[in-house]
Chain A
Amino acid sequence: MDDYSDHPVRPYVITSGRAHPSRNTIRPETLLVVDPTVPYPITAGRQQRALLDMCRGVLSLAEAAAHLRLPVSLVVVIASDLVDSGHLSIRSAPRHSLPSAELLEKVLDGLRRL
């Protein structure tokens, strides 16, 4: 994408030097949504606020990252912290095994309606 440009702040600065999230349950397709009743953390930086703003509605982590033009690997770390502090909720549970037959049937139904 031509209009993509590197952020002037290196990712490990934004994440306080961490390359890995505090938890390992957030995947690119994990659905996130902000809890509107919880005020933003007083220590929130620009990227944290941008992510919270972005998640006013339900959005996957990958979508939030793409709209913010930040790498998924960075947004995972930020999102994990905000989930830990109760500012961001995970809507969808992560799946480690294959989706159930029931879920696959729903996907089939939707694709057949396209």
Chain B
Amino acid sequence: MVSADSDFPARYVVPTVAQSVKILVVGAFGVGKTTLIGSVSEIAPLRTEETMTSASVGVDSLAGLDGKSTTTVAMDFGRITVTPDVVLYLFGTPGQRRFWDLWEGLADGAVGALVIVDTRRLEDSFEVFDQLETRTGMPFAVAVNEFPDAPRYDADQLRTALDLLPDTPIVLCDARHKESSAGALITLVEHALHHPASQKAPA
């Protein structure tokens, strides 16, 4: 391995940090997860990969007797030192919960999930919302990434189309821009702050 001396200390978390928190940035492939993370992260987004067998991907092949077919699932993530003692990680995860399970403990203790949606393929996000509402109980907010050629809808239209609960925040954003991405994350954290479970959590 190449000496990491030139990277020290830039890659490291400042030594005063004593606590880490995380937000999941969730969405279908190509929806802008890594773009949003990269726009606010203090480090260039990093990638980790896990492999899963075809059986767990859900491919039901009658010919798959070799049992060796694998799929690589990638997760990109970034980091923001929010205060001298707290660092926030943004983990960009595929929409389906079964992929989250490849990274043990990924969902445990998260502030919440920011679900990124592309209005050109809303149907891709139905499964994500279904799972967030029924399986995790995690607070979440929806960020509509406004691609230039995508149809424009207002929040009420999207709430109806996505069948979201009345208190689930929806924000329009441009994932390429720092202020816009930060705004979407702020909306999620404010929502999490009012989520019943955060009041009961120990300090």
Contacts and interface: CB of A to CB of B under 8 A. Distances in A.
A54 B13 contact: no
- Sorting the interface of chain B by its residue count into under 10, 10 to 19, 20 to 34 or 35 or more gives 35 or more
B189 A71 contact: no
Question: SS class of chain B's interface: helix, strand, loop or mixed?
Answer: mixed
A105 B193 contact: yes
Interface in A8-65: 24, 26-31, 50, 53-54, 56-60, 62-63, 65
Nearest to A108: B189
Contacts of A109: 82-83
Contacts of B81: 110
A98 to B, nearest CB: 5
Interface stretch (B41-49, B119-127, B154-162): B41-49
B117 to A, nearest CB: 20
A1 B109 contact: no
Interface string B2-40: 001000110111110111111000000000000000001
A60 B41 CA distance: 15
A101 B109 contact: no
Contact of B12 (A27, A59, A76, A98): A59
Nearest to B109: A95
- Of the candidates A4, A63, A99, the one having the most CB atoms from chain B within 10 angstroms of its own CB is A99
Interface of B: 1, 4, 8-9, 11-15, 17-22, 40, 43, 46-51, 74, 77, 79-83, 85-89, 91, 102-106, 108-109, 111, 139, 178-179, 182, 185-186, 189-190, 192-193, 195, 197-203
Interface of A: 1, 4, 24, 26-31, 50, 53-54, 56-60, 62-63, 65-67, 71-73, 76, 91-112, 114
